[in-house]
Amino acid sequence: MLFIMLENFRKSLEVAPIVKMGDYDYFVHPVTDGIPFMEASVMKEIIDRMQNMGDFECDYIVAPEAMGIPLAVPLSLRTGIPYNVVRKRRYRLPGEVSVHQVTGYSEKEMYINGLGSGDRIVIVDDVISTGGTMRALVLAFRQMGVRIVDIIVVVEKGDNREKLETELNVKIKTLVKVEVRDGKLVVLN
């Protein structure tokens, strides 16, 4: 297996601004927010690493809206695997499943369409922090009979990933781990 260094990505994280959302320290970065802009070299490193570390023996690459989409699209193009987006809007399509998501800074419904029992998926997302989005998705997919082959998240913020893995009996692969120290984002690995 080829190891992708993520040098440009790490440098870009180190200068990411921190903003407060209530008591939550939120970092602003192109991979998590699409602003200020995504350098092609950074995205290439991220997608190379995700493709290299993931098990893409699946039927669909699934990403929650919004920032999972820019990860799912290039992975879909590279692997030839279709992608599916868990949306924040209700469409009322047959078989639509509502998912209640609670994060460190928001609470909302998300909607799964186009997936069903027996489908094999890889979940990709930009960041895992409180685990609220991932918890909601994993539980909903299990209830639907959808088989989760792999979970790959770009940024792990805080210490909730391991707790969530134990709680849900899943493995969540992350590219980098970060934390906020003295108002700055620090890359830990």
pLDDT tens digits in sequence order for the chain, 189 residues long: 556 689 999 999 999 999 988 888 889 999 999 999 999 999 999 999 999 999 999 999 999 998 999 999 999 999 999 999 999 999 999 999 999 977 766 688 999 999 999 999 999 999 999 899 999 999 999 999 999 999 999 999 989 999 999 999 999 999 999 999 998 999 998
Sequence-distant (≥ 6) Cβ neighbours of residue 166 within 8 angstroms: none
Rounded distance, CA 127 to CA 156, Å? 6
Alpha-carbon distance of 176 to 59, in angstroms, equals 26
CATH number of 7-187: 3.40.50.2020
Give the pTM.
0.94
